[in-house]
Structures are given as C-alpha cells and as structure tokens.
Amino acid sequence: MPVTHFHVRWPDGSETRCYSPSSVVREHLVPGQRYALGDFLHRTREALGIASERVRAKYGFACSQAMDQLGDIEHIALRFSDTAGAEVTVLAFD
C-alpha cells in the first residue's frame, strides 16, 4: 500500500500537495487533467475513502490522515464554491 502524494492547482492558481495512504488515487485522478470542482471533490472523496478502508483492512483502523486530507481539500474548495466554471488541475503524482 504505497503512500502517494498528488499535486493540484486550484482555480486561483495556488497549489497543494495532497496525501493518500494508497496509490488508489491514481485510479481516480489523471495528471494534467482539469476537473470541474464538484467532479474533483467526488473523485477525491471516493479515492481517499477507499484508501482509508484499505488501511482499515490491513491494520484494523481507518486512516485518519486520509480523512484529514479530505477535510483540507473540502475546506479549500469552499473558497471556490461560488465561482462559475471552477476547475481543479491535477499536476502530478510523487
């Protein structure tokens, strides 16, 4: 279960390095792809939820760090919730 970081660019040009405890995020996001804000949130909720459950299956407890990361993503996304056509770009994985 390799830890995976992914970098995103928000509608205002700011960038965030995000954490996933599993590479499953690579099945939900594609580097270079722009996603409508709502689609990006849906994809990250799904990916980080699956990643957290993989941790639970292996260690017996969910990954709080994945859920914290999701909370951070959702908090940042709130800034753009009233922005028409807001898109998030996935820059890269590392």
Instruction: Supply the pTM of this predicted model.
Output: 0.95
Q: Is the dihedral of CA 72, 81, 87, 83 positive or negative?
A: negative
pLDDT, position 70: 98
Residue 1 clears pLDDT 90, i.e. is over it: no
Residue 85 clears pLDDT 80, i.e. is over it: yes
What is the arithmetic mean of pLDDT over 64-77?
97
- What is residue 91's three-state secondary structure? strand
Neighbour tally for 35: CB within 10 Å: 20
Alpha-carbon gap, residue 40 to 56, rounded angstroms:
24
Closest CA to 18 of 47, 53, 54: 47
